[in-house]
Amino acid sequence: MYLRTRWKRVFLLGIGIFLVLLGFKTYALDEQTPVANVVLIGATGDLAKKYLWQGFFNLFRGVKQNSLDLHFTGGTRLPFNTGNEQLTKILQDSVNCQARDEECLDSLHAFLDRVDYAQLKTADHYRDLCTSLTDGASSRREEGRIFYLSVPPFAYPEIVEHINQVCRPPDPRTWLKVVLEKPFGSSLNSAQELSVQLSKHLKEEEIYRIDHYLGKPGVRTILPFRHSNRDVLDPLWNHKYIDYIEIAMKETLDVKGRLSFYDKYGVIRDVMQNHLTEILGLVAMEIPNDLNPASVQKSKVDLFKDVLPVTSSQSVIGQYENYAREWMEETNQNPGNVTFTPTFAASILFINNQRWRGVPFVLMSGKKLLEKLSYVKVVFKNQAVCPTSVSWRKDSNCEAKQIVFVLSQSGSKYPHILLSKSFPKPILPRGIREDKTFPMEEFQVFNRPLSDYRVYAAASEDAYTSLIKDCFHGDRSNFVDTERLMASWVIWDNALKGLQKVMPRIYSPLQSQTGWLNFEVKGQTLQYTVQETHTDDYFQSSLASSYEADSSYFRNQPLYHGNAETTIEDLAKSIFEVAVSTVESKGKFHIAFPGGNSPKTLFSLLASRYRVSFPWENTHIWMVDERCVPRADPRSNFNSLQELLLRHIAIPHFNVHPMPTELINGLCNPEDKGPQVYAAEMSRHLERERLDFVVLGSAWMDTRRPYFQRAPH
């Protein structure tokens, strides 16, 4: 359907006559009508299928056909027949009219008529394509060319070299724009290297680095809202009145299917260094008098240069519990390989300028959480004076005010702005309206009743549609220029280096909602509220100092020490190595775990990182101690072992040996001789009555029974 040959013209002529007979409007092309060419490289990929072709169709509908014609070429490395067939199916399945009105259907037919396929694998392919573009525009003026690169960044240098050498328009009046998808490097150095390679072939004004989050309707409301209400907000938009600002992007999905990419980047590179940092710029930048692209770019760059570089101590990271297993299976990892790639992170940022000095900006994002929600929350200090009359202030009690930009939320069609009623009614920019139907009861994060807010809804348009239109019209406000890109990498580069060897906290979706991922600001640092391990004062003061002189061994065995994350990581790796070697030599591996809080993170780590590679079927698990409670009781040590480890691994049930706390005469009755029963069971299973590995907790608790007091060695 998309092959421009003589038979196609005849076929389309027949279709045109048929459509006229049916009453459809046809698009007759005036030979004097200027043309603009759009080339999508990576035309059959997921991004093109989900968003880009629909975005190009929406652009086509928005351009007046009598003043400018648009022509589209989809390119891939596939041979013509294969690629053309795939592209045809994608266009049929993915490009549509939301409302089946006659005008849209007419436009759809006209759009499909203007899409061709081209194989783009070699320099000759690019030369042939661009020669045809030039020849096709010979009878009328070519307005411009857009090359949209929906391909991995490693392909950028070669493609832009081809574009520069054989695809530049011959007429100097014809503009050239090259759109690039993130990631734009994985570090400051790699971003600089890629930028240098691009600059050899393209001018800065020809490069359009796209961050699709800047096209989201909720994000696009921030700057216009601030600008429209600057007379009221600007005097309050500073460290004197604002307590903190929170920028969050929470997702319920995992990353299965894209782990080969994701594991190289993680949540900070994937979301925080770009999307959330760009939003920070919109919230914190100085508002220029005129929101023209150049002024917005300059103001945001100036702000980025004032943001202090983030350190690893200003960040906490986590990893959802099944990530390591998914990574091993999807990327065919060798047994024993581990990944520290975070799927959750939170960081605290500070801006070193007069307006924001001392105000914490908390950026947070995570995968596989219990809710899908993205927002910007600006929380004002309690002592902030309400900018209204005395009588109004009395009615509102001058409670702490909030402005919340709800960028996206599961179940909500439109983004929203929530404004505390202690503010005067705002001036609404174009496209924003008051919404009294907003389901505020679904928002648990804000912990405030709906009656405290005025709620405004923003018009909704697909992010890629918005950005494609911006690119076509030359509006660079929502595209990332080189200077801003480098400034954002300066902010994050040190933290990324420092977090490379930090073990992320393992979490489940449920744990993400029960305080396990809660964090708090401590001065200039960030830390988890709930600590992973417990160490009592006696252990720290008496035992730890006793062995400080010999930090490598204790009783002729390796001694692991350091912060909690590093110690548990080393311990888990040691358990794995000993288990593998023991099974190889003896066929079985016996290990005993303690109870209490100490081993919980170790259990989660073993369950996630070593679920597949560990020899569980040849492993016997014993317990060092138990509480005198039923096994189903949440306080039971076995219950913790079951929930955090056993239910996630493939271990035979008869290889698990819980302590016999309930026998004939009830719970922990001395007449049942539970310790002796357990000791006899160990004797039946253990060679020379020795365990292969014993993990001891950091403290004994009165409610636990230390069965190993007289048990085998």
Structure tokens at 169: 């328009």
CA distances from 304 to 274, 281, 491 (A): 12, 7, 8
- Per DSSP, the three-state class of 454 is strand
In degrees to the nearest 10, what's the CA dihedral of 540, 541, 542, 548?
A: 70
CA distances from 611 to 70, 211, 219, 319 (A): 54, 36, 40, 15
Listed in sequence order, the DSSP H helices in 176-292 are: 188-199, 217-220, 222-228, 230-233, 259-267, 277-284
Out of 275, 416, 620, 648, which one is annotated catalytic?
A: 275
The set of residues, in sequence order, having a beta carbon less than 8 Å from that of 695 and lying 6+ positions away, is 571, 575, 591, 592, 593, 594, 599, 602, 624
What's the rounded Cα separation, in Å, for the pair 213 and 219?
Answer: 7
Pick from 598, 605, 612, 584: nearest CA to 699: 598
Pairing of strands 344-349, 519-522: unpaired
What's the rounded Cα separation, in Å, for the pair 83 and 88?
Answer: 9
Q: Which residues pair with 178 in a beta bridge?
A: 147, 207
What's the rounded Cα separation, in Å, for the pair 163 and 37?
Answer: 13
Residue 487: is it exposed, middle or buried by C-beta count within 10 angstroms (0-12/13-18/19+)? buried
- Give the DSSP letter string of 234-252: GGGSSTTTEEEEEEEEE--
Q: Is 561 a catalytic residue?
A: no
Q: Which residue has the tokens 């320099």?
A: 123
What's the rounded Cα separation, in Å, for the pair 335 and 29?
Answer: 63
Pick from 345, 148, 186, 213: nearest CA to 269: 186
Report the 3 state secondary structure along 493-562: HHHHHHCCCCCCEEECCCHHHCCCCCEEEECCEEEECCCCCCCCHHHHHHHHHHCCCCCCEECCEECCCC
DSSP tag of 272: I
Q: Taking a C-beta distance cutoff of 8 angstroms, is the pair 692, 671 a contact?
A: no
Pick from 477, 441, 462: nearest CA to 299: 477
Catalytic residue annotation: 275
